[in-house]
Amino acid sequence: NAGVTQTPKFQVLKTGQSMTLQCAQDMNHNSMYWYRQDPGMGLRLIYYSASEGTTDKGEVPNGYNVSRLNKREFSLRLESAAPSQTSVYFCASWSGTRAGEQFFGPGTRLTVL
Amino acid sequence: QKEVEQDPGPLSVPEGAIVSLNCTYSNSAFQYFMWYRQYSRKGPELLMYTYSSGNKEDGRFTAQVDKSSKYISLFIRDSQPSDSATYLCATTGYSTLTFGKGTMLLVSP
């Protein structure tokens, strides 16, 4: 039981390049989330998916797109990366039972030059 | 005003000390209160969970919520070097979390 997995672990991009961050969970959770974490800013919600087939914007959605591919997988796409998107990205999932109990992946460290 | 305020620290204490970590929140609709612990270069993990006001104890950890003053606290007794991490408070109405910025705790042997 791997929990929440994320790929890649590290990535360096040049400004304007695109990439997709992958997230998968094996806990049969309905809801999945993408956060970014920056020094001094804490964890901020980018997008979430309450259930398969639905996605909603969070606090900082600009410059990102998401796809809930199936119940297990939720991807985050940067179409044209900018230095301001340099951050650590975390994916999380929630079963929908106990409010607030989210399970986080190990994170992807992204640097945009 | 950010919805959840938390002093980022760092907070440095000697082993065995009692640690007090605190947050304030602004939205009175929040009903659920959490503390997540995040070790360096790892994802956050849920440490303590409280519904509404009151105390909850789990071993050396006690979470306290005072809804009248919108104040959230985490106490760590007999702190250990292994407690060195960033502690994030969080609240939720139900499906999405609002986090504080996190407090970095350093416990020295």
Position B93 confidence tier, pLDDT thresholds 50, 70, 90: confident
- Residue B100 forms contact with A (CB below 8 Å): yes
Task: Kindly state the percentage of chain A with pLDDT values over 70.
Answer: 100
Over residues B65-91, the mean pLDDT reads: 96
- Measured between alpha carbons, how far is A59 from B69 in angstroms, rounded to an integer? 26
Chain A nearest-CA residue for B98 = A44
- Residue B6 forms contact with A (CB below 8 Å): yes
pLDDT for residue B107 is more than 70: yes
Chain A contacts in chain B segment 66-95 (CB below 8 A):
88, 90-95
Task: Kindly state the percentage of chain B with pLDDT values over 90.
Answer: 78
Torsion of CA A55, A56, A58, A62, to 10 degrees: 80
Over residues B42-66, the mean pLDDT reads: 93
**pLDDT top residue among B93 and A80:** A80
pLDDT for the residue B108: 97
Least confident of A27-36, A58-67, B47-56, B65-74: B47-56
The CA distances from residue B91 to A47, A64, A90, A98, B36, in Å, are: 18, 25, 18, 13, 11
- Measured between alpha carbons, how far is B14 from B23 in angstroms, rounded to an integer? 22
pLDDT for the residue B1: 57
As a three-state string, the secondary structure of B45-90 is EEEEEEECCEEEEECCEEEEEECCCCEEEEEECCCCHHHCEEEEEE
The reply to whether residue A40 touches residue B31, judged by beta carbons under 8 angstroms, is no
Over residues A101-113, the mean pLDDT reads: 96
pLDDT for the residue B53: 83
Task: Kindly state the percentage of chain A with pLDDT values over 90.
Answer: 88
Which residues of chain A make contact with B48, given a CB cutoff of 8 A? none
**pLDDT top residue among A85 and A42:** A85
pLDDT for the residue B15: 98
Over residues A75-102, the mean pLDDT reads: 94
Chain B nearest-CA residue for A37 = B101
- Residue B32 forms contact with A (CB below 8 Å): yes
